[in-house]
C-alpha cells in the first residue's frame, strides 16, 4: 500500500475519536444506509476525477429550463443523500421554482460517521479532496443540465454546514450564496483535535479574525462575496449556538458590515430573523434563531407554499428553513418556463405610513399583468395597480419591500430596488447596564457553554460571571444587542 493511501486511511480512522460527541447524539441513526435512487433522485457517475471519493446524486425537474439556478445540498453525519432528498424539502422547491439540486454523499469509507471533512485541510481547501469533488459536481451540472454558473448555491446541515462554510470561503467565485444549518464557521478547525472544541464553543475571535479565515482560504480574492444564511436552534447542544454568532461575525466582517442588524422580525416556529444589509440595502447575511430547537434542520411538513420537509432524526418541526433560504437567495424569482423576464419596476417609494400600515407606489412596467409585492423577502400581495397598502403591521417597526412585475403567464420578473419603511409609534428602545450574571437573571440574556448570549441577537457577551459588565439595548421588545459604546433610548 502506498504511504499516501495509508496516511489517508489512518486519518479517517482517527476522526472517529474526535467526533465522539456527535456519535453520542446521533445514536438513533447509528446505522448508515446507502442512498437509493428513490423517486427522482438519481446517482451520477463520471462527473470528474473525484479526489475526495464522494458520490454524486441529483434531482432534476422534468421541465428544467436552460440557465436555471443550481443548489448543492450537503447531508449531516450518519445521513445519506437520500435522507436529505427525502426530508429537507429541496425537491419541492426545485419543482415549484425550476432548478436542479445536487446531493453529494460521503460514506464510512471516508469517515466512520459519514461526516464531511470540514475540519480536515486535505478535504476542505480550494482544489483539495472533498471540496474539489463537490466543485466538480457543480461543473458537471453546468454542462449537463445547463445550470447558470452565476446562480450556484450551497447548503448543509451540521458537518455538511461546516463544509458549506468552508466551500463559501474557498470558492467564493463558484457559489453566489450559502446556508449553514447547525454548522460551524469556515476554518473553525484545521485538525481533528480541534473539531470537538469548535462544536461546543469556537474560539473567541474578533469579527476581523474570523473574517481573515475566509480571506485566507482564497488569497487575493476581493469579491463579490456569497450571501449567507445562518440557521441555529437555541437548544442545540451538539453544535452550540456560539457557532452561529461566530458565523455571523465572520461573514458580516467579510462583507465589511457591523454586527448590529439592519432589521429583525419573527417567523413561524419561534424563529427570530436578523438581517444585515449590504451598502446597497440588500440582505447580505441573515441569521435565523429558532427558539428551543435542538440539533437539526428546521422543517415544517405540509402542503402550503411555506411548508416543507418531513420530520425525523435531525429534521425538526419548527419552520421551513428551505423555503426561507430559497427566498433569501431569490430562487422564487426565477423563470421556470425559460421566457424573457419583465424588467424591474422603477421608482418604488413609500407614500404613507401609519402605526399599522405602509403605503407604496411605483412606476408601471409595459407588459405587466400584475405586480408581486414582497415584505422582508416574503410575498404579501399581488395587485393589478402600481400601488399597494400593506395592513396589519406592528408599530415602530422597520419593514423592507421590493416589487416585481408579473407577466400574463404568472411569471415574476426582476425585483425592484429595495425600500425600507418604518411604521409610526411603538415603544422606545430601552437600555440596561448590568453584569452578565444580572443580565441573565433579568431574562435579557442566556447561558450556553459557560458564556452569555444576548437574547434575540445571540451576541456573545463573554463569561457567565459578575465581573463582566455590558450595556444591552432592547428594540424591538425582547431583542437585545450589545451597546457598550453608546445606548440611545
Handedness of CA 362, 366, 370, 373 (dihedral sign): negative
| Residue 158 bears catalytic tag | yes
Q: Where are the beta strands (DSSP E) in 61-214?
A: 70-74, 100-105, 152-157, 177-181
Beta strand extents in 279-438 (DSSP E only): 283-290, 297-299, 315-317, 349-353, 358-361, 370-375, 378-383, 387-390, 398-406, 412-415, 419-422, 430-435
The CA distance from 176 to 338, in Å, is: 21
**Contacting residues for 61 by C-beta, under 8 A, at least 6 apart:** 94, 95, 98, 99, 100
User: Which of these, 288, 254, 277, lies nearest to 417 by C-alpha position?
Assistant: 277
Q: Is 213 exposed, middle or buried (0-12, 13-18, 19+ CB in 10 A)?
A: buried
Nearest 5°: the CA angle 322, 324, 326 is 65
**Cell numbers representing residue 179 in the block:** 446556508
- Residue 370 pairs in a beta bridge with 406
Looking from the CA of 150 toward its CB, the CA atoms found within 13 Å total 5
The answer to whether residues 163 and 124 touch, using CB atoms and an 8 Å cutoff, is yes
Which spans in 145-183 are helix H?
Answer: 159-170
What is the signed CA dihedral for 280, 488, 351, 379, rounded to 10 degrees? 60
Q: How far apart are CA 279 and CA 285, in angstroms?
A: 12
> 289, 143 in Cβ contact below 8 A?
no
- Active-site residue, selected from the candidate residues 158, 274, 321, 457: 158
Burial 180-189 (b: 16+ CB within 10 A, else e): bbbbbbbbbb
Which residues are marked as active site?
Answer: 158
Amino acid at each position: 500500500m502506498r504511504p499516501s493511501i495509508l496516511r489517508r486511511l489512518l486519518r479517517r480512522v482517527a476522526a472517529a475519536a474526535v467526533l465522539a460527541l456527535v456519535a453520542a447524539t446521533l445514536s438513533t441513526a447509528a446505522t448508515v444506509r446507502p442512498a437509493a435512487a428513490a423517486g427522482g433522485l438519481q446517482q451520477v457517475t463520471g462527473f470528474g476525477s473525484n479526489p475526495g471519493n464522494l458520490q454524486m446524486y441529483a434531482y432534476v425537474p422534468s421541465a428544467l429550463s436552460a440557465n436555471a439556478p443550481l443548489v448543492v445540498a450537503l447531508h449531516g453525519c450518519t445521513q445519506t443523500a437520500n435522507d436529505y432528498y427525502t426530508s429537507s424539502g429541496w425537491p419541492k422547491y426545485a419543482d415549484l421554482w425550476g432548478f436542479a439540486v445536487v446531493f453529494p454523499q460521503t460514506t464510512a469509507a471516508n469517515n466512520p460517521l459519514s461526516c464531511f471533512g470540514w475540519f480536515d485541510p486535505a478535504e476542505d481547501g480550494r482544489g483539495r479532496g472533498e471540496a474539489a469533488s463537490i466543485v466538480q459536481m457543480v461543473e458537471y451540472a453546468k454542462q449537463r443540465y445547463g445550470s447558470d454558473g452565476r446562480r450556484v448555491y450551497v447548503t448543509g446541515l451540521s458537518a455538511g454546514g461546516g463544509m458549506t462554510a468552508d466551500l463559501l470561503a474557498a470558492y467564493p467565485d463558484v457559489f453566489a450564496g450559502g446556508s449553514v444549518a447547525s454548522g460551524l464557521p469556515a476554518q473553525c478547525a484545521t485538525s481533528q483535535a480541534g473539531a470537538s472544541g469548535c462544536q461546543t464553543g469556537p474560539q473567541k475571535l474578533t469579527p476581523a479574525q474570523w473574517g481573515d479565515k475566509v480571506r485566507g482560504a482564497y488569497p487575493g480574492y476581493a469579491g463579490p462575496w456569497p450571501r449567507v444564511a445562518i440557521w441555529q436552534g437555541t437548544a442545540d447542544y451538539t453544535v452550540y449556538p456560539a457557532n452561529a454568532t461566530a458565523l455571523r461575525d465572520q461573514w458580516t466582517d467579510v462583507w465589511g458590515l457591523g454586527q448590529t442588524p439592519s432589521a429583525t422580525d419573527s417567523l413561524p416556529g419561534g424563529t427570530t430573523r436578523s438581517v444585515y444589509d449590504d451598502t446597497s440595502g440588500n440582505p447580505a447575511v441573515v441569521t435565523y434563531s429558532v427558539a428551543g430547537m435542538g440539533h437539526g434542520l428546521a422543517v415544517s411538513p405540509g402542503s402550503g407554499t411555506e411548508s416543507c420537509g418531513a420530520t425525523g432524526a435531525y429534521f425538526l418541526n419548527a419552520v421551513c428553513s428551505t423555503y426561507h433560504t430559497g427566498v433569501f437567495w431569490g430562487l422564487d424569482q426565477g423563470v421556470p418556463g425559460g421566457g424573457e423576464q419583465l424588467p424591474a419596476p422603477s421608482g418604488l417609494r413609500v407614500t404613507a405610513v401609519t402605526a399599522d400600515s405602509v403605503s407604496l407606489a411605483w412606476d408601471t412596467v409595459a407588459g405587466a399583468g400584475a405586480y408581486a409585492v414582497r415584505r422582508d423577502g416574503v410575498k404579501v400581495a399581488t395587485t393589478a395597480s402600481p400601488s399597494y397598502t400593506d395592513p396589519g403591521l406592528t408599530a415602530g417597526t422597520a419593514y423592507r419591500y421590493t416589487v416585481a412585475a408579473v407577466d400574463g403567464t404568472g411569471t415574476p420578473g426582476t425585483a425592484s430596488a429595495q425600500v425600507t419603511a418604518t411604521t409610526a409609534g411603538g415603544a422606545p428602545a430601552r437600555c440596561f447596564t448590568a453584569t452578565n450574571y444580572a443580565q441573565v437573571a433579568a431574562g435579557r440574556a442566556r447561558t450556553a457553554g459557560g458564556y452569555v448570549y444576548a437574547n434575540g441577537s445571540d451576541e456573545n457577551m463573554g463569561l457567565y460571571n459578575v465581573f463582566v459588565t455590558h450595556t444591552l439595548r432592547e428594540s424591538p421588545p425582547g431583542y437585545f444587542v450589545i451597546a457598550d459604546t453608546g445606548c440611545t433610548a
